[in-house]
Amino acid sequence: MDPVTLARGLVCCPSVTPREAGALALIEGVLKRAGFQVHRVTFAEPGTVPVENLYARIGTGRPNLVFAGHTDVVAPGDEARWTHGPFDGDIEGGVLFGRGAVDMKGAIACALAATFDYLAAHHGKPKGSISFLITGDEEGVAVNGTVKLLKWAADRGEKFDHCLLGEPSNPKSLSDMIKIGRRGSLNGTLVVTGTAGHVAYPQLADNPVRGIVTLLSALMNAPLDDGSQHFDPSNLEFTSIDVGNKTVNVIPGEARARFNIRFNDRHMQDDLKALIEQRTGAAAGPVRWRIEWEPSNADVFVTKPGSFVDLVRAAVAEVTGKSPALSTSGGTSDARFIKDYCPVVEFGLVNTTMHKVDERVPTADLVALTAIYRNILERYFA
């Protein structure tokens, strides 16, 4: 089956998160025709929208190689700014335009096309099993998606050996980068309490702005670490400083600063929190402070280079003629959930237009990524 036709079909489903919009139905149809057992499962939770997901498998043996991905997309924004309708699936000059073309309906289409081609060449059966784990809740809150789908599959007795997640991993061209891990992410708010008062009588007040400036500079000055074998240094970034004071002659009673930390594998959430609080305390003197931490489901992970990473890298090199770098850069992805079940690496399309107006992919990239996935399947079940 042609990956371009499949990608086009998926792009034409306006599956803005968390809507299904026919995208999973399309995948269900083609997988069933290829002999897969397909399950459509909807997850819900109070306070969230129910979201549809799909799990499909062919074969019963091991190893079980899983292609993971999401069919939901981010909103197109102002559609008038697009040169082609975001859900029209137009191809012009060898380029497919549309929301989700690279993030990541294109890669799902390539994984499907590669799988069908592999099955056709092997009497319709893999030596082990091939599975698809597709969610409609990646771009949203990611509560009713991959995290629950993995649990659901595990409860049914499904075992995964390796996972290939088709997120757009390449900065410029298709042979650039395999992601073998992701940094963790942690949000917090630094709160400094003072005593409100009249600006003309500062001795009767305690200005929290002075205190928070001291603590901000202490936390921004010292690096958290100097990186590790596979990761850049961890980074704490303040994103907002808020006093909310509309009055010019009043010293405020409280100042707050929000921050995010992207951390590498030299930290776990708890020791990182302890480190930040220890540094804050050391700089605080008489300043009254506390940190409000937000719950985070984004832990750091790395799939250590080994046979599976080597296999993916060799497949990319054979098809493109270039050996991709191994990286842990970028934001979080559903790989952070999958890593609890099996080793996972991410390799997909080029990410320059993702989430932007005129998101697009050269059809040649779809053909090449299909060849790479096909090569991976051949090596994996050799």
- Which sequence positions are flagged as catalytic? 72, 138
- The closest of 158, 167, 145, 144 to 67, measured between CA atoms, is 167
Enter the tokens of residue 77: 């924004």
Cα separation, 340 vs 159, in Å, equals 12
Question: What is the closest distance, in whole angstroms, from the C-beta atom of residue 46 to Zn ion in the complex?
Answer: 26
From 52, 103, 158, 334, residue interacting with Zn ion (rule: CB under 5 A): 103
Question: What is the closest distance, in whole angstroms, from the C-beta atom of residue 382 to Zn ion in the complex?
Answer: 30
Question: What is the closest distance, in whole angstroms, from the C-beta atom of residue 103 to Zn ion in the complex?
Answer: 4
Window 33 to 72, contacts with Zn ion (CB under 5 A): none
Q: Stretches 43-51, 159-167, 250-258, 263-271: which one binds Zn ion (CB under 5 A)?
A: 159-167
Which of 20/167 has CB closer to Zn ion?
167
Q: How far is C-alpha 382 from the chain's CA centre?
A: 30
Residue written as token pair 């707050």: 256
Task: For residue 367, give the amino acid letter.
Answer: V
Question: What is the closest distance, in whole angstroms, from the C-beta atom of residue 338 to Zn ion in the complex?
Answer: 13
Let me know: does 310 contact 316? Beta carbons within 8 Å: no
Q: What is the DSSP string of 198-234?
A: ETT-GGGSB-HHHHHHHHHHHHHHS-S----SS-PPP
Let me know: does 362 contact 180? Beta carbons within 8 Å: no
Q: Which residue is nearest to Zn ion (CB)?
A: 103
From 6, 73, 104, 287, residue interacting with Zn ion (rule: CB under 5 A): 104
Q: How far is C-alpha 207 from the chain's CA centre?
A: 41
Which of 34/366 has CB closer to Zn ion?
366
DSSP label at residue 73: B
Which of 71/175 has CB closer to Zn ion?
71
Let me know: does 336 contact 297? Beta carbons within 8 Å: yes
Which of 52/167 has CB closer to Zn ion?
167
Question: What is the closest distance, in whole angstroms, from the C-beta atom of residue 128 to Zn ion in the complex?
Answer: 27
Query: How many residues make contact with Zn ion (CB under 5 A)?
Result: 3
Which of 283/338 has CB closer to Zn ion?
338
- The closest of 31, 44, 72 to 334, measured between CA atoms, is 72
Q: Stretches 92-100, 101-109, 151-159, 289-297: which one binds Zn ion (CB under 5 A)?
A: 101-109
State how beta strands 301-302 and 181-182 pair.
Answer: antiparallel
Per CB under 5 A, 212 contacts Zn ion: no
Task: For residue 87, give the amino acid letter.
Answer: F
Q: Stretches 29-37, 40-48, 95-103, 344-352: which one binds Zn ion (CB under 5 A)?
A: 95-103
Question: What is the closest distance, in whole angstroms, from the C-beta atom of residue 90 to Zn ion in the complex?
Answer: 21
Enter the tokens of residue 14: 């306006």
**x/- track of binding to Zn ion for residues 161-200 (CB under 5 A):** ------x---------------------------------
Q: Stretches 102-110, 125-133, 296-304, 316-324: which one binds Zn ion (CB under 5 A)?
A: 102-110
Question: What is the closest distance, in whole angstroms, from the C-beta atom of residue 372 to Zn ion in the complex?
Answer: 18
Q: Stretches 89-97, 100-108, 124-132, 281-289: which one binds Zn ion (CB under 5 A)?
A: 100-108
Burial of 152 (0-12, 13-18, 19+ CB in 10 A): middle
Task: For residue 163, give the amino acid letter.
Answer: C
Which of 103/365 has CB closer to Zn ion?
103
Cα separation, 39 vs 81, in Å, equals 38
Residue written as token pair 């061209």: 173
Q: What is the DSSP string of 47-77?
A: TS--EEEEEEEE-SSS-EEEEEEE--B----
Interface residue list for Zn ion (CB under 5 A): 103-104, 167
